[in-house]
């Protein structure tokens, strides 16, 4: 593959032809466009990992939610018991 020195060194996967092509964007930094610059890719990856961490934390909270729900239901049952006692009176 002949690399165009003015173009980004990044490769783009084309699903249809199942081939890698040289990125068609103009090289902006170290021979890469901002999309394919390794530093930018790392920055994006870190951002994504941080997002994943947040998502995982949120999932943990959802995972623990059923217990909160059971507590809530137990609370409702307690209230119902009081109602029953009232009926018996």
Binding positions for Zn ion, rule: CB under 5 A: 8, 10, 23, 25, 33, 35-36
Instruction: CB nearer to Zn ion: give 15 or 87.
Output: 15
User: Residue 26 CB, nearest distance to Zn ion (Å)?
Assistant: 9
Instruction: Tell me the CA distances in angstroms from 47 to 1, 39, 54, 56, 72, one per residue in order.
Output: 32, 12, 11, 14, 37
User: Residue 43 CB, nearest distance to Zn ion (Å)?
Assistant: 15
> 14 exposed, middle or buried (CB, 10 Å; 0-12, 13-18, 19+)?
exposed
Instruction: CB nearer to Zn ion: give 19 or 61.
Output: 19
User: Residue 9 CB, nearest distance to Zn ion (Å)?
Assistant: 7
Return d(Cα 80, Cα 72) in angstroms, integer.
Answer: 12
Instruction: CB nearer to Zn ion: give 25 or 41.
Output: 25
């Amino acid at each position: 593959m002949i690399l165009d020195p003015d173009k980004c060194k990044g490769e783009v996967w084309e699903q249809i032809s199942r081939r890698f092509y040289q990125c068609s964007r103009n090289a902006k930094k170290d021979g890469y466009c901002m999309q394919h610059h390794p530093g930018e890719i790392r920055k994006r990856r870190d951002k994504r990992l941080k997002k994943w961490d947040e998502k995982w934390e949120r999932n943990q909270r959802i995972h623990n939610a059923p217990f909160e729900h059971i507590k809530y239901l137990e609370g409702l049952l307690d209230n119902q018991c009081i109602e029953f006692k009232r009926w018996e009176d």
